[in-house]
């Protein structure tokens, strides 16, 4: 069906289509195009109008993305800046901070990473021990982060650091913007079993965060971080099983080196990639992708495969309907407690189901995996096409979503304690000053 059908004339997406006719030019550099797109409010249209957005609903924002793609233009600068930092800074930052940081995010000029998890603080994030100590107008940062997606490509980091060890663990944390390009910040990429190195370890040795780059009050970073985490979980439940974070085509920021390249080249690559190499987990029609895989490998009449295909379709539909229900409740000024956690859990179930279904269809071929383009071509030829290679790749990366943004167990704990009002886990020591707590408690 034509995109424009069924929408009334004052549909804001019509305005975008007109704008694209006047503004999209494949000869622009990526940086120049993103400058136009972001300054006009189309990069992150859910942000408020005075914060470089257009105050649109999530569903309209998705239609904006679809309209940009349908026009054949390069999409907005995806990444953790746009997804997490911008809405957090809009919610808790000052006007000056919105202008300093959010503008560069929506125009793709800066890349961001999330410096939350540490070797001893993942699920128990409030147990983090990276220290920030005030020295006049700056804070001196020492410690270590891990699992930092895109850390090696980031200009800025969303840093959670302990600023008051004498306070209970949730009350002595502060949220800072950290400049990643400084002495005292060392980024070491980590290679995963997929073959990619999407994460890093990040070490701080007397690194500096300006007090002007503090988002929210001193020691009130847990509240700010909860905004970041809530946005992260909501995004995942709304279809966040798309490519693992960091695996994007045109990358924002000064480090990746894409800003000076021709924007039109990335559209060609995106179109090619969506035809030949779309992840089997892409949210548009995942069951269909597995149905086609089953047909190709003559498994479409296997009753066990059929049963799982239907299960995948039904789970997807439940998530879609829940998202619609949540949208309707929010439009009426309400909310549904725990829905972001439930949706994230459901997506984790779906990526596991897709992993198992893909491997069930592929059989022994599913054991083949390659770590570079040449190898991928060989594996695709041996294993029966790019779709088969992608199903295997998806199976390997399926471990990610059930962990990041809070593991399945943590989602269940949150739903139990905060939504259902069940008693907290026994032995809770979170009232103690952080400095008096046993390590990892």
Ligand X SMILES: Cc1cc2nc3c(=O)[nH]c(=O)nc-3n(C[C@H](O)[C@H](O)[C@H](O)COP(=O)(O)OP(=O)(O)OC[C@H]3O[C@@H](n4cnc5c(N)ncnc54)[C@H](O)[C@@H]3O)c2cc1C
Judged by the rule CB under 6 A, the positions of this chain that interact with ligand X are: 113-114, 116-117, 122-123, 147-149, 199, 244-245, 400, 403-404, 406-407, 409-410, 413
Minimum distance from residue 155 beta carbon to ligand X (Å): 15
Min. distance of Cβ 252 from ligand X in angstroms?
Answer: 15
CA 44/CA 55 separation, integer angstroms: 9
Q: Are 255 and 323 in contact (CB under 8 A)?
A: no
Residue 108 or 246: the one with the smaller Cβ distance to ligand X is 246
Nearer to ligand X, 237 or 406 (CB): 406
Minimum CB distance to ligand X smaller for 192 or for 292 = 192
Phi, psi of 157 (to 5 degrees): -125, 145
End-to-end alpha-carbon separation of the chain, Å? Answer: 55
Closest separation in Å from C-beta 441 to ligand X = 11
Burial class (CB in 10 A: 0-12, 13-18, 19+), 321: exposed
Q: Which DSSP symbol is given to 436?
A: G
Least distance (Å) between residue 179 CB and ligand X: 17
122 versus 235: smaller Cβ distance to ligand X: 122
Do residues 64 and 72 make contact, with C-beta atoms less than 8 angstroms apart?
A: no
434 in Cβ contact with 167 (< 8 Å): yes
Q: How far is the CB of 111 from ligand X (least distance, A)?
A: 12
Q: Which is nearer to ligand X, 252 or 406 (CB)?
A: 406
Q: Whose Cβ is closer to ligand X: residue 166's or residue 409's?
A: 409
Closest distance of CB 120 from ligand X, Å? 8
398 in Cβ contact with 350 (< 8 Å): no
Q: Which burial class, exposed, middle or buried, applies to 335 when counting CB atoms under 10 A from its CB (0-12, 13-18, 19+)?
A: exposed
Say which residue the tokens 């020591």 belong to.
429
By beta carbon distance, the residue nearest ligand X is 122
Report the nearest approach of ligand X to the CB of residue 412 (Å).
8
Query: Taken in order 366, 351, 145, 90, is the CA torsion positive or negative?
Result: positive
Q: How far apart are CA 304 and CA 392, in angstroms?
A: 19
For helices 221-237 and 339-362, angle between their N-to-C axes, nearest 10 degrees: 40
Nearer CB in complex with ligand X: 177/263: 177
Classified as helix, coil or strand, 187 is strand
């Amino acid at each position: 069906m034509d995109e424009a059908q069924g929408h009334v004339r004052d549909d804001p997406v019509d305005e975008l289509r007109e704008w694209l006719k006047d503004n999209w030019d494949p000869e622009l550099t990526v940086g120049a195009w993103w400058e136009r797109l972001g300054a006009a409010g189309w990069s992150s249209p859910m942000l408020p109008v005075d914060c470089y957005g257009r105050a649109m609903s999530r569903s309209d924002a998705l239609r904006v993305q679809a309209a940009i793609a349908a026009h054949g233009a390069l999409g907005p600068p995806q990444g953790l800046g746009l997804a997490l930092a911008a809405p957090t800074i809009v919610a808790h930052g000052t006007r000056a901070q919105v202008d300093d940081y959010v503008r560069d995010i929506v125009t793709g000029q800066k890349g961001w990473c999330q410096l939350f998890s540490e070797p001893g603080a993942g699920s128990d994030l409030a147990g983090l021990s990276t220290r920030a100590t005030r020295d006049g107008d700056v804070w001196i940062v020492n410690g270590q982060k891990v699992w930092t997606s895109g850390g090696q490509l980031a200009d800025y980091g969303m840093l959670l650091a302990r600023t008051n060890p004498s306070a209970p663990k949730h009350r002595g944390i502060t949220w800072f913007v950290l400049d990643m390009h400084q002495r005292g910040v060392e980024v070491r990429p980590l290679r995963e079993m997929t073959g990619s190195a999407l994460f890093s370890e990040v070490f701080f040795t007397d690194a500096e965060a300006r007090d002007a780059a503090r988002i929210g009050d001193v020691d009130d970073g847990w509240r700010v971080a909860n905004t970041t985490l809530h946005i992260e979980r909501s995004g995942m439940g709304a279809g966040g099983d798309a490519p693992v974070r960091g695996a994007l085509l045109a990358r924002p920021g000064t480090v990746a080196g894409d800003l000076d390249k021709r924007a039109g080249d990335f559209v060609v690559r995106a179109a090619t990639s969506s035809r030949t190499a779309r992840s089997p987990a892409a949210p548009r029609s995942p069951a269909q992708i597995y149905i086609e895989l089953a047909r190709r490998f003559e498994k479409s009449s296997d009753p066990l495969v059929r049963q799982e295909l239907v299960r995948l379709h039904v789970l997807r539909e439940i998530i879609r309907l829940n998202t619609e229900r949540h949208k309707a409740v929010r439009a009426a000024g309400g909310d549904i407690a725990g829905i972001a956690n439930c949706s994230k859990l459901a997506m984790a179930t779906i990526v596991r189901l897709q992993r198992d279904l893909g491997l069930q269809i592929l059989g022994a071929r599913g054991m083949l995996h390659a770590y570079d383009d040449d190898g991928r071509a060989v594996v695709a030829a041996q294993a029966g096409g790019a779709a088969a290679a992608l199903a295997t790749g998806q199976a390997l990366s399926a471990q990610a979503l059930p962990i990041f943004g809070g593991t399945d167990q943590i989602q269940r704990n949150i739903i139990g304690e905060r939504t259902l009002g069940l008693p907290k886990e026994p032995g809770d020591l979170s009232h103690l000053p952080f400095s008096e707590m046993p390590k990892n408690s």
